[in-house]
Structure 1
Amino acid sequence: CGRDLKSGGARLLLVVFDNEYTAMTGGQPSPSREIPAERITESLGLRTYVVDPADVKRSVEVFKRAAAEAESSGPVVVVSRRPCVLEALRAARRSGVKVPKYRVVADACRACGICYNLLKCYAITRLPNGKAWIDPSLCNGCSMCAQACPYDAIKPEEPEKIKGWLELWSKA
């Protein structure tokens, strides 16, 4: 129980990954009643943050703050919430929204490895020269690689498609 964690002096950072679906095989919506995880954790007296993992910069800031708080004053919860990208891709197909694909600008890439080491995205491959390459057939348009690249070396192939796709994904 959250109160036991607090009173026991636990130094814990708990992360809840909420993609609004259950971990079943077909992407079924949850059969349970919708109760936000933060309502539960806050009712247990736990300090709780909610982040959208698609906002990489803010997510990193919140995780750093939460980790420091957990170390100094006890258990902290971070709820990472974003609709399942697979459901967003289905909605995009149904509504005709084009999903943007990202590419690496080879001349700008400094082979730092952040995109393929930090994100672990299956669409990003490390080339023999250390630079990254994004397989367009595997890219789901999430934009996290572009946000994470400190050299601004990852760009959408068709920038005009971004806004509609990101809006759709946030509401999927």
Structure 2
Amino acid sequence: MAATHTSAIFTTHALFELARMPAEDVESIRAEILAAIESEGGIFNKNAVGKFHLLDSLLKEIGRFHSLFAVGSSRLVLKEAVISNGTVLPPGSVVALAPKPLHNNPEFYPDAHVFDPFRFAKRRTGESVTKDVKQSFTALSNDYIVFGVGKHGCPGRFL
């Protein structure tokens, strides 16, 4: 159930952003999709979708810019923990992630206040396949927390 409404939210934001984009940018996305499907013999399959780098970048930027939640990935502290700055978290404490401050951090995202649909596609240019995967919409990282982090990352992110 959770994957359904978040997928709908991303789709809605994508339609809004596509409507605001210059026609040539929309055409670039469309051309990339058509080329990817053509490269798979005209078949829309997982391999073709893996080549949709511009659309993937648009969706990831939507997640960065239009955070779906103010606070998420809440966790209950079961035993005393000390975080990197020395703060002690006693058992029973609840901790959570706040994506907006992180996703607006200019250290990770230059011009963070600007919506750039191709931000993550630009990061792929000239990179190895390993780094390319790190830029994808569904990748988990400490600087993009839309889907959480680590082993508790949202399994519905692939929908």
Regarding TM over 0.5, the answer is: no
**TM-score, normalized by length of structure 2?**
0.24
Larger Rg: 1
TM-score (norm 1): 0.23
Higher helix share: 2
